[in-house]
Amino acid sequence: MVALSVNVNKIALIRNSREGNYPDVAAYAQTCIDAGADGITVHPRPDQRHIRPGDVLELAQLTGQYASVEFNIEGNPFAPPLDDYPGLIALVEATGAQQCTLVPDGSDQLTSDHGFDLTTTAETLMPVIARLKNLGARISLFMDADIAQIDLARQLGVDRIELYTGPYAAAWQQPHQRESVYERYREAAQHATEIGLGVNAGHDLNLDNLTAFAKIPGLLEVSIGHALIVDAIDMGLHSAVQAYRALLTQAGS
């Protein structure tokens, strides 16, 4: 069955719009866990627009209470420390996160919108990957559905890739494009599995487009934040998590 990791960045974004700690990110992460989430994902950035270093430490303590709940930290390993943001690797080291998803996002990006181009970044990633392996983290690379790039990811010795599903979600709104784009992702995931890479996915997945994607071969985990939190406005957070969890369960049956 495909695991559901809930990205709680948007909860922190709401919190940061006012002074104080309301909503409490850890308390809502607890709600996600109680509702059946398999993991909690955070994507801290140097500008601390949402998740802050203190949140990362607190969420690590929370998820550490559960043997079956994974803590996944996403981010750009090359983003420099800024103020009290210590850098991605330092946060993984401080928390013992089970998974670290490396993402090539820049400081001027609103959100992650592309995977790594390993023809230009492989050499700079190699020492980062080696250090993360020494920390015991599972390493995933944020990648486009590009078989040649996926082959390069395998050569770097990472454990998984996370397929950037923004183009899939956009194609879902255009019925004439759905089948061809879906097939590209299916082939990419199947190839990754055949060469020994685990497959995660994330970005713009929602209750409408996830049912089909969850049936892609070899898919192990989806990380969902924005859509799930929007659904929570109507459904409540506990019910929204359960709805995504039920969809993944049904897709795997």
| Residue at 120: amino acid letter | T
Set 50, 191, 203, 221: catalytic member: 203
- Contact of 14 with 27, CB cutoff 8 Å: no
Per-residue buried b or exposed e for 69-108, using 16+ beta carbons within 10 Å of the residue's own CB? bbbbbbbbbebeeeeebbbbbebbbebebbbbbbbbbeee
Rg of the Cα atoms in the chain:
17
43 given a catalytic annotation: yes
203 given a catalytic annotation: yes
Q: Tell me the three state secondary structure of residue 249.
A: helix
What are the angstrom distances between the C-alpha of 106 and each of 103, 113, 155, 174? Answer: 9, 10, 24, 29
d(CA 37, CA 19): 28
Set 74, 162, 191, 221: catalytic member: 74
Which DSSP helix (H) or strand (E) runs through 27?
helix 25-34
Burial (Cβ within 10 Å: 0-12, 13-18, ≥19) of residue 234: exposed
What are the catalytic residues? 43, 74, 203
